Chain A
């Protein structure tokens, strides 16, 4: 018999680890990955693989040769960042831009703060926003989705995202929302006149719309989110408050003026909303810890997202909204404490 171990209680521990949580997130993203391959072809797979491999490589490189500490790429956090970054870019992005994005995500947003658990901002979002600002053309050239078995033998055609159409279409009140659904906006591609229409709700739900490769299918993302909720990797507080506040905020303007403001449901299923709500706003490291704080965080994200979508320069506001609220996380943690047992006494 070896020496007896003496340690403080508790002496049993839950069968849970960082690794399990991270691979749980990756597992939850598989449906969205499949949908992206279905709509964007092998290009999507290429981006996902390069991005995750690059993220893991950079983490290994930095931990091994700059920090010279233990290497922890097997915990899966770099993989999650890599896949999320891939989800946030168009599928036709050149390799070198993906590499820059991965380097910014891991090197700047994560390792420079001290690695896993210490980054104030979601690394994948920092990477995406960095790319969006640095390479606006490449980052907003969206390939048109084509179902895998209906491939036409033409070069990749690009087109705008629904939110882009909306932003462009109702600028200066040129069209009404209804017109955008029915006729769309006019664009000149290769000397030909093309009309881009807003997709209908069924297409938006299953993912038949332009956009970043992982964000298009609301159904696949919700499927993964349900799995994460079931596994208790995320809690309901942030997603519900995020969606609800965005819905209400958009709903108010829609009620006031339905001609130029689109139905709030449209906002929930287009753009990066579902991806951001379930996979990035809920990032454990950069979101508040108490349930109350998480609700505040979610509401803040929802409102800021809609403000950017309505009046901002960009058609999409999810990434900025989450990053802005990430910055508020420490102060939210400080001001919104969980309810202490025995604090408010109502005895009956």
Chain B
């Protein structure tokens, strides 16, 4: 009996000692020296791994932030779009640095080529991804710049901040949820979505079209296209509007939200968001009906912002897409 016990103790003890020695050397050899600050920073980050900062995930962002802080003593050029200034402030504090505030941004869909404004000219059959449709042809509306309506942006959004509007066939951004991570901007094969400053009281003015074709051609496919008439360009008192390739673009840094350009546009391609309604006299043209509808639509989820509704809408969109997606 004793003998068995002794053998067991010795052999197990020997195994333990050998394993300990091996582990000791292995741990030595493969030791990774990591700045503990990385963990601290990572902890503060939202852990969405959305890639909006330009890094593969929150961990990579934390590593980059710490090495930059070590080398240069500032956090210039780093921004976590999801956490915003708040999180960047916390990180800076943790690293003992100052951080400059960056303007909060939001995604904006710059196309109004809904089923009503840009009717279908052909029928697309194939996988429900914008990228493929974009490579195949100019899309159902015929506009080579317009939204293809297959929802790559909605699928790319990790924050439930987008859904496809079935009435118009266009994506809608739920401002409340949008963190400006830029995933949709990257997902869109036509660069329709842009990140713009949120602006005071969320008020924004932008050209909801990126068609660079000549006016006639653009108008042929879509009645609310920018036709490059330059009227807004001429009326802008702040030089915020630039004309390039038959297309007006409003620089959000320069725009003072005076709203002068909006009524000028003959095709209603310029949008104003979250402004109070105009007084009658200044309103030369009644705004298009759908525009109001869409503005209301854009506000609706923010008012309710019930996660259930958003999730359901997203689910519906996904279900529709699933038809054509390879599992």
Q: Do chains A and B touch in the complex (CB under 8 A)?
A: yes
A binding-site residues for B, Cβ under 8 Å: 2-8, 114, 117-118
A5: which B residues are within 8 A, CB to CB? 122-125
B120: which A residues are within 8 A, CB to CB? 3
- Nearest first, the 3 A-B pairs at minimum CB distance are A7-B125, A3-B123, A5-B123
With both beta carbons as reference points, the residue of chain A lying nearest to B135 in the complex is identified as A8
Q: Is there an interface contact between B327 and A4, defined as CB atoms closer than 8 Å?
A: no
Q: Is there an interface contact between B122 and A4, defined as CB atoms closer than 8 Å?
A: yes
Q: Is there an interface contact between B136 and A7, defined as CB atoms closer than 8 Å?
A: yes
- Bound-complex Cα distance A118 to B327 (A): 9
Q: Is there an interface contact between B126 and A8, defined as CB atoms closer than 8 Å?
A: yes
Q: Is there an interface contact between B126 and A7, defined as CB atoms closer than 8 Å?
A: yes
6 contacts between A and B (CB under 8 A): A3-B120, A5-B124, A6-B123, A8-B132, A8-B136, A114-B327
With both beta carbons as reference points, the residue of chain B lying nearest to A70 in the complex is identified as B323
- Bound-complex Cα distance A117 to B124 (A): 27
Interface size in chain B (residues, C-beta < 8 A): 11
| B141–chain A nearest beta-carbon distance, Å | 11
- Bound-complex Cα distance A2 to B121 (A): 10
Residue picked from A4, A5, A8, most chain B C-beta under 10 Å: A8
With both beta carbons as reference points, the residue of chain A lying nearest to B120 in the complex is identified as A3
Partner of A3, one of B122, B126, B132, B327: B122
B132: which A residues are within 8 A, CB to CB? 8
Q: Is there an interface contact between B327 and A6, defined as CB atoms closer than 8 Å?
A: no
- Bound-complex Cα distance A3 to B121 (A): 6
B302: which A residues are within 8 A, CB to CB? none
- Bound-complex Cα distance A4 to B120 (A): 10
Q: Is the interface of A mostly helix, strand, loop or mixed?
A: loop
B137 contacts A by Cβ under 8 Å: yes
- Bound-complex Cα distance A7 to B128 (A): 12
| B145–chain A nearest beta-carbon distance, Å | 17
- Bound-complex Cα distance A5 to B120 (A): 11
- Bound-complex Cα distance A7 to B140 (A): 11
B137: which A residues are within 8 A, CB to CB? 6
Give me 19 other A-B pairs in contact (C-beta within 8 A), A7-B126, A8-B126 excluded: A3-B120, A3-B121, A3-B122, A4-B122, A4-B123, A5-B122, A5-B123, A5-B124, A5-B125, A6-B122, A6-B125, A6-B136, A6-B137, A7-B125, A7-B136, A8-B132, A8-B136, A117-B327, A118-B327
| B128–chain A nearest beta-carbon distance, Å | 12
| B103–chain A nearest beta-carbon distance, Å | 42
Q: Is there an interface contact between B124 and A7, defined as CB atoms closer than 8 Å?
A: yes
B126: which A residues are within 8 A, CB to CB? 7-8
B136: which A residues are within 8 A, CB to CB? 6-8
Residue picked from B120, B123, B137, most chain A C-beta under 10 Å: B123
Partner of B124, one of A2, A6, A114: A6
With both beta carbons as reference points, the residue of chain B lying nearest to A3 in the complex is identified as B123
Q: What are the interface flags for B129-156 relative to A under an 8 Å C-beta threshold, 1 for contact and 0 otherwise?
A: 0001000110000000000000000000
A8: which B residues are within 8 A, CB to CB? 126, 132, 136
- Bound-complex Cα distance A6 to B327 (A): 23
- Bound-complex Cα distance A242 to B125 (A): 42
